[in-house]
Structure 1
Amino acid sequence: MARVHPAAGTGEVADRVRARRGGHLTPLDEALLHSEPFADGWNILLGAVRSSMALPGVLRELAICRIAALNGADYEWRAHAPIAHAEGLTDEQVAALRLGADTAPLEDDHQLVLAYTDAMTRSVTVPDELSAAVHKRLGTQQLVELTGTIAAYNMVSRFLVALHVGHAESADTSESTESEVTA
């Protein structure tokens, strides 16, 4: 059960969020709308992360799903695993993003993004050699966008987990079956 009840979802900010979401509000939006300035800023930031960057969607969604697994953000996992599939990750590659999973199905770029995501999420500090490798492979713009995406979705996962948004007792990102993840 969520720790805050859903906000009414009326007004200009809610309308802007609905417009980005294709006409509806999610449980996350309904929690955020208790603070319209926060919800508005969140909507602008996450809208840019999701739709305005050069970072390939497959790398964005790989990072988001890994963050969800690392932080126990089941709602985030359930929302983004299908998007990761749509962006081109296979069932085996999505499964490899879970904690303790075999990462062998991941391609070299995926492994690099996974290591960068793990460093930023687990310890915040990224080793120089890892940052240099990501920079060399992706370039400056995509390094900045990947870093911003990881930072933003760590914010998302922490908000979701702290307030039990979309909390489902049976969901577990480390052990969920593929059918639970894509449902």
Structure 2
Amino acid sequence: MSRIQPAEPSQRTEEQRQLLEVVLGDEAPNLFSTVVQHPALFRAWLPFCLHLLMSSAFPARERELLIIRTASLCGSAYELEHHLALGADVGLTDYELAALTGHANQSWAPRDRLLVAAVDELHADHVISDATWHGLSEQLTTEQLIELPMLAGHYVLLAGVLRSLGVPLDSEQAEPSAVRYPDAVK
């Protein structure tokens, strides 16, 4: 149930309309149409959000792997609705998507296994273990090592905002159960 309704185009101030231009204007997703109701915060947050999404130090497939795992662990149906589709578009298989969301087991390649482990550890203990860090430090750049907990942390923050404010899914169905998880490959 929505606690703060997304601002409909007819309800938006001129400032809100201008802020939403970069994220599809009148067609802005509910996340943006809700957060824009705090223009100063929106103005500060959006560049960070877009940097992580569009200028990540990670290749798109790995970025989506990290986001989807985080969103799944946080129970963020809204982010899953968007990022399962993006993940498929950038090369994550249905089986990998199902594994990231806890609906299948996956034998990950070593680098992917480390990325998933890092998100799991951040979610459980808010720290990447020494063993996982050691493995990551052999494969990632310094920029990626810094960005990884910031990327996961950003999506934890978004999950809390989305769930606390009750931001409705952008799809026709506004129930968390409406998110379609990929079927595991048999």
TM-score (structure 1 length as normaliser): 0.86
What SS does the aligned partner of 2:133 have? helix
Hey, what's the Cα distance between the residues in 2 that align with 1:118 and 1:100? 15
Structure 2, gaps ≥5 residues long: none
Cα distance between partner residues in 2 of 1:125 and 1:177? 28
Percent identity between the aligned chains? 27
Query: Given the two structures, how large is their TM-score scaled by the length of structure 2?
Result: 0.84
- Measured against aligned partners, the alpha-carbon deviations of 1:20-52 in whole angstroms (never above 9, x if no partner) come to x24431111121012111111221111100112
Match of 1:171 in 2: 177
Which residue number corresponds to residue 48 of structure 1?
A: 51
Task: Report the Cα offset of residue 14 of structure 1.
Answer: 4.1
Which amino acid in the other structure matches residue 169 of structure 1? E
Describe the superposition over 1:80-123 as per-residue Cα deviations: whole angstroms up to 9, x where unpaired: 0011111111111111101363122x322211111001111222
Aligned residue pairs: how many? 175
- Equivalents in 2 of 1:134, 1:13: separation in Å? 41
2:83 matched to which residue of 1?
80
Which structure: larger Rg?
2
Cα deviation for residue 60 of structure 1 reads: 0.9
Quick one: structure 1 residues 137 and 163, their matched pair in 2 at CA, closer, same or farther if it must change by over 3 Å? same
Once the two structures are superposed, residues 149-177 of structure 1 have per-residue CA deviations (whole angstroms, 9 ceiling, x without a partner) of 1111111111111112125335276xx44
Give distance in 1, aligned partners of 2:153 and 2:49.
11
CA distance in structure 1 between the partners assigned to 2:135 and 2:20 by the alignment: 36
Q: Show the counterpart of 1:136.
A: 138
Structure 1 stretches lacking a partner, 5+ long: none
Aligned residue for 1:71? 74
